[in-house]
Structure 1
Amino acid sequence: MMRDFVLKHVLSTDVDTDEPPKDLKPQDLPQEEQEPKKGRYIGAIDQGTTSSRFIIFRDDGTPVASHQVELTRICEHSGWHEENPEEIVDSVEKCMDQATKAFTTAGYSVSDIQTIGLTSQRETALVWDWETGKPLHNAIAWPDTRTTPLVRELKQKEGAEKLQELCGLPLSTYSSSAKLVWLLRNVPEVKEAYDNGRLAFGTVDTWLLYNLNGGKENNVFVTDVTNASRTMFANLHTLEYDDTLLDFFGIDRSKIRLPKIVASSHESAFGSMAQGPLKGIKITSCLGDQSAALVGHCAFSPGQAKNTYGTGCFLLYNVGNTPVISKHGLLATVGYQLGDTPVYALEGSIAVAGSGVSFLMNNLGFFRDARKINDEAATVSDSGGCVFVTAFSGLFAPYWIDDAKGTIFGISQHTQRGHIARATLEAVCFQTKAILDAMEKDSGERLKELAVDGGLSNSDICMQSQSDIIQLPIERPKMHEITALGAAIAAGYALGIYKDLDALRGMNRSNGKVFKPQIAETDSARMYKQWSKAVEMSRGWLDNSAINAG
């Protein structure tokens, strides 16, 4: 069972090992791709924890123009992580303006853009006044842990043990529900609006759609099934708000406005742009970022999975049209809904991926550029017997060990920096295998291949190690904007630009790279057994008082 302690250290999927963002303009494409193609273009809003982006794709999945704007983080107290709701909207509008300007400057026409898709950070909670349309507080972002005492209180409440069967999520600081309860208890303006029936609640997708459609003037108030499934207010089986869940959190449905839940791909539910250069263009998709990445990888069949190697890792595993409530430490969620039937997923998270590389760079001085991790690891042929359990804040799925500490085993007088660099990369790969094993047990489906994205996936050594350890092919696409591509695919599907999901499976696969196992299965099993032994030996470094203080 997940504990609120471990989730208070969940890390952003923004990637430490990525190159600095660079705006894409049509003239940056290879010469053969610069000529405008007869066909259609789709815009994709990608609103993340630390930045917003807008990317314009050709209907074959090629990005032709983009712009990115960084966001301000507001951290007034330890464990707090807030964002300015109006800055979120402004950043998205600026990205759309600048990317469209680059698009038209290169000779394209706004009329070539058929539709717009949206993907955004999940679980971040926003509240605003329904009568004025103005925010009543900063957005409380998903990694925020101020609700830790509240979550402990709620866990003692009658019915707490039944929540996961209804919504797929255990009680934690992660989901939106506890954030809303905290706001109602601690912000008088929010409580007053609630008591007067003026309080609107939503996640980032709802807030953006509301504002991009003109705010109070048009009152487009909607969310999709993937984002709704992360609030703990929606029943995972019915995909509607559940009175049992709302009652548990003390939410009176008559006093609060909750957004309508619809499919992730919809021709009309998400409205259209109310102003700016793309005024009048429909928004026809809405997905949480990890779900968008699943769609971007075209993981449309049960048994397919994607892993995003960012600061931490988020691994989603398609389990088909029936939700699977995990018995092995994973989350159950909606993967996406592009038509009438939802597709569900199991989700596992790894706390330390790119942040382990940052540790080697910033704390140990191994290199000055995180992208050099591959070069450092390449100085040796293997890890030299080193095993690095990167439990900087305990271990996440499927272990949920909160009394572990980061520990390196197997050091000898011959150990070099390259061995530790390899052991750091292998730690991510071993934890990915543990999650995949749990997913197979929960779902009954065997993984066929693993699609990857994120900054650390650029390391050939890391991806080859991943293939060796899970004994399966690893598919790394050439084009890295997978999350935005997923939003574009879902938007195009709503309008019939894409009619057959099976036909999309080849999108973004050309010129990618496939890593296949290069070691025997017996050797892989031996390595994993050694890792599992190291995990057990890392337990118990913290006592309960140290955990609570953390």
Structure 2
Amino acid sequence: MENPSHSPHHEHHAGDDTPAQDEVSLKKVFIGSVDQGTTSTRFLIFDGTGTPVASHQIEFKQIYPQPGWIEHDPNEIFESVEACIEEATKTFVGNGHSISDIKAIGLTTQRETTVLWDGETGETIHTAIAWPDTRTQSIVRELKQRKGAEKLQDICGLPLSTYPSALKLTWLFRNSEKVRETYNEGRLMFGTIDTWLLFKLNGGKERDIHVTDVTNASRTMFVNLHNLEYDPFVLDFFQLDSKKIKFPKVVPNSDAEAFGSIAVGPLKGKKIMGCIGDQSAALVGQLGFTPGKAKNTYGTGCFLLYNVGEKPVISKHGLLATVAFHFGGNRKPVYALEGSIAVAGSAVKFLQNNLGFFEASHKINDLAATVKDNGGCVFVTAFSGLFAPYWIDDAKGTLFGLTQHTEKGHIARATLEATCFQTKAILEAMEKDSGHRLSELAVDGGMSNSDLCMQVCLSLESPWEILINASEQQSQADIINIPVDRPTMRETTALGSAIVAGFAAGVWQEFEDLKKINSEDRMTFKPAISKTACDNLYAQWERAVEMSRGWLDSDRGAAST
């Protein structure tokens, strides 16, 4: 991780009686940020100017019991958090800083991934079912026929799909005797990764902290998006008795007391003052505080969030309605439209680990650059079906257009383009739902390391200005056909977690205090292909999407035609 080459200056009020701090003072104030993702865990420490000063990262095991099944070991994830905190803190102290200057800890996590544990023992009951898992595809089809299904999206903002936590919990009830037994005895604890980590970081059963934040709660499908409370109709639809299962308390993202404090380790006693889902954290880290602001994150998946203000907008064009962030106090919750792509960086990992195309993921850029175009290849990377705006649960990854001319470079390029085309589809849906065009789009995430992806990914015509918060290299300027602007500091998800914690700790009090963070040393890139070429590529992609339908269930076979 590189530090930014600038130190933005802004005023800040650390408390009612504390004078505004200058840049020198802010550099002596620190916030820790746990960034727990789909494939790895990190802990970063930021100073008050938003500059990361120490970090450590650990990858953890991905469990694939069957095709389409993706699981995590919740205990391994917690151990990775503890190890990252220890190592990053060691670096922090080694650089001459004092632990006493760390004012708060923030937590950001992967969303939807479902964890169950025993309320009496504090022990997990099953491995965590990860958010891209598709084992619930048949349950989705079944529940879409259940009475009341048509009301769900208006209540919770999410369509019935394999994505939300509610479907994963339904599968666990049907397939785990231990889960049913614990539920029937009233000992079943439910949570997403944030809830599990807060429980463990606070010492487990000793303090028994059982909370979640509004952004993660809005991804379960159990919470009413309008009042941010568990909805009786939805719980009844999923046939759950709230007296037999304990759901975590829903609180704002920024809170000085609700999340407890770290129980053991070098940061023992430090308060956890912020908790936020990773995609919302990236929007906060991109300073997307006002309606019309948006960001796109290219991680394991790809997620585009668009701030719609203080009232939720229920999508009519295949997007999700979700909570963007809630800073608590007198502030109201802010909502977003979201376009979710299940597979982005994980498709690059597929080429690396499964097919052996290259030894390191960043090498995809070099491989794709060995050819001038995709050679007619289109790769619909539907490893977990297709998410927004298509919601095709029965699709499988499908590669079209192979000939004797096809080289590895063509497939590499088609892999990068898959995320770009899906992003284009989401942007079109967002314009229809919001009623107006975006003014800017901030982008971040590991896949944006690729020069070629950043060049290709914006080429389909759009008049929207794009601000790319990428990892280094060139522009995304070809599938949306507009200029791209990229800043230097790319740790936006972890920064968002630090920001929500920093507000509760009084490091910042107003969004205005953050206006210069991550705003300098940007680079602009421009489109390089014509609108006609873009239109042809996108039409080819849409044909391939339609042809990828119906491949998930082997028992349907040829009869599905």
TM range (shorter): 0.7 to 0.9
Q: Among residues 252, 264, 289, which one is paired with 2:241 in the alignment? A: 252
Query: Which residue in the other structure is 2:319 paired with?
Result: 330
Is contact 2:381-2:418 (8 Å) kept?
no
Is contact 1:453-1:476 (8 Å) kept?
no
Is contact 1:463-1:515 (8 Å) kept?
no
User: How far, CA to CA, are the matches of 2:353 and 2:204 in structure 1?
Assistant: 44
C-alpha displacement of 1:288: 0.9
Q: 1:432 to 1:119 in 2, by over 3 A?
A: same
User: How far, CA to CA, are the matches of 2:315 and 2:6 in structure 1?
Assistant: 49
Q: Among residues 187, 203, 210, which one is paired with 2:192 in the alignment? A: 203
Is contact 2:27-2:48 (8 Å) kept?
no
Query: Which residue in the other structure is 1:527 paired with?
Result: 534
1:539 correspondence with 2:546: yes
C-alpha displacement of 1:287: 0.7
1:495 correspondence with 2:495: no
Q: 1:476 to 1:408 in 2, by over 3 A?
A: farther
Query: Which residue in the other structure is 1:461 paired with?
Result: 452
User: How far, CA to CA, are the matches of 1:544 and 1:130 in structure 2?
Assistant: 40
Is contact 1:387-1:531 (8 Å) kept?
no
Q: Among residues 294, 300, 303, which one is paired with 1:305 in the alignment? A: 294
Q: State the AA in 2 paired with 1:320.
A: G
Alignment of 1:44-59 (within 5 A): 44-59=33-48
User: How far, CA to CA, are the matches of 1:89 and 1:405 in structure 2?
Assistant: 32
Q: 1:72 to 1:292 in 2, by over 3 A?
A: same
Query: Which residue in the other structure is 2:254 paired with?
Result: 265
Query: Which residue in the other structure is 2:310 paired with?
Result: 321
Per the alignment, in what secondary structure is the counterpart of residue 254 of structure 1?
coil
Query: Which residue in the other structure is 2:434 paired with?
Result: 443
Per the alignment, in what secondary structure is the counterpart of residue 420 of structure 2?
helix
Query: Which residue in the other structure is 1:480 paired with?
Result: 490
Q: CA RMSD in A?
A: 3.2
Q: State the AA in 2 paired with 1:248.
A: F
Give 5+ residue unaligned stretches, structure 2. Answer: 9-23, 459-476
**Alpha-carbon displacement from aligned partner over 1:442-489 (angstroms, at most 9, x marks no partner):** 112421122111222122332233234324443333222221111001
C-alpha displacement of 1:138: 2.3
Query: Which residue in the other structure is 1:383 paired with?
Result: 373
User: How far, CA to CA, are the matches of 2:186 and 2:386 in structure 1?
Assistant: 42
Is contact 2:32-2:105 (8 Å) kept?
yes
Per the alignment, in what secondary structure is the counterpart of residue 449 of structure 1?
coil
Alignment of 1:9-88 (within 5 A): 38-88=27-77
Q: 1:387 to 1:351 in 2, by over 3 A?
A: farther
User: How far, CA to CA, are the matches of 2:175 and 2:401 in structure 1?
Assistant: 46
User: How far, CA to CA, are the matches of 1:276 and 1:537 in structure 2?
Assistant: 51
Q: State the AA in 1 paired with 2:534.
A: M
Is contact 1:449-1:473 (8 Å) kept?
no
Is contact 1:224-1:264 (8 Å) kept?
yes
**Percent same amino acid at aligned positions?**
59
Query: Which residue in the other structure is 2:341 paired with?
Result: 350
Is contact 1:403-1:539 (8 Å) kept?
no
User: How far, CA to CA, are the matches of 1:72 and 1:458 in structure 2?
Assistant: 23
Q: State the AA in 1 paired with 2:523.
A: K
User: How far, CA to CA, are the matches of 1:470 and 1:547 in structure 2?
Assistant: 37
User: How far, CA to CA, are the matches of 1:505 and 1:357 in structure 2?
Assistant: 34
User: How far, CA to CA, are the matches of 2:171 and 2:336 in structure 1?
Assistant: 29
C-alpha displacement of 1:139: 2.0
Q: 1:427 to 1:127 in 2, by over 3 A?
A: closer
Q: 1:188 to 1:546 in 2, by over 3 A?
A: closer
Is contact 2:35-2:42 (8 Å) kept?
yes
C-alpha displacement of 1:202: 1.1
Is contact 2:38-2:300 (8 Å) kept?
no
C-alpha displacement of 1:532: 2.1
User: How far, CA to CA, are the matches of 1:30 and 1:486 in structure 2?
Assistant: 19
**TM-score in terms of structure 2 length:** 0.83
Q: Among residues 263, 267, 278, which one is paired with 1:278 in the alignment? A: 267
Is contact 2:273-2:504 (8 Å) kept?
yes
1:452 correspondence with 2:452: no
User: How far, CA to CA, are the matches of 1:74 and 1:42 in structure 2?
Assistant: 32
User: How far, CA to CA, are the matches of 1:52 and 1:404 in structure 2?
Assistant: 28
User: How far, CA to CA, are the matches of 1:383 and 1:355 in structure 2?
Assistant: 22
User: How far, CA to CA, are the matches of 1:478 and 1:79 in structure 2?
Assistant: 36
C-alpha displacement of 1:343: 1.3
User: How far, CA to CA, are the matches of 2:64 and 2:120 in structure 1?
Assistant: 29
Is contact 1:353-1:428 (8 Å) kept?
yes
Is contact 1:130-1:199 (8 Å) kept?
yes
Query: Which residue in the other structure is 1:143 paired with?
Result: 132
Give 5+ residue unaligned stretches, structure 1. Answer: 1-21
User: How far, CA to CA, are the matches of 1:290 and 1:183 in structure 2?
Assistant: 26
C-alpha displacement of 1:323: 0.9
Residue range with higher mean Cα deviation, 254-263 or 421-430: 421-430
Q: 1:268 to 1:428 in 2, by over 3 A?
A: same
1:398 correspondence with 2:389: yes
C-alpha displacement of 1:313: 1.6
Query: Which residue in the other structure is 1:470 paired with?
Result: 480
User: How far, CA to CA, are the matches of 2:515 and 2:138 in structure 1?
Assistant: 45
Number of positions where the alignment pairs a residue of Structure 1 with one of Structure 2: 519
Is contact 1:403-1:547 (8 Å) kept?
no
Residue range with higher mean Cα deviation, 421-430 or 190-199: 421-430
Is contact 1:404-1:538 (8 Å) kept?
no
Is contact 1:450-1:473 (8 Å) kept?
no
Query: Which residue in the other structure is 1:371 paired with?
Result: 362
Q: 1:359 to 1:52 in 2, by over 3 A?
A: closer
Residue range with higher mean Cα deviation, 304-313 or 489-498: 304-313
User: How far, CA to CA, are the matches of 1:545 and 1:119 in structure 2?
Assistant: 32
Q: State the AA in 2 paired with 1:166.
A: I
User: How far, CA to CA, are the matches of 1:361 and 1:193 in structure 2?
Assistant: 41
C-alpha displacement of 1:423: 5.0
User: How far, CA to CA, are the matches of 1:355 and 1:147 in structure 2?
Assistant: 20
C-alpha displacement of 1:433: 1.7
C-alpha displacement of 1:320: 1.4
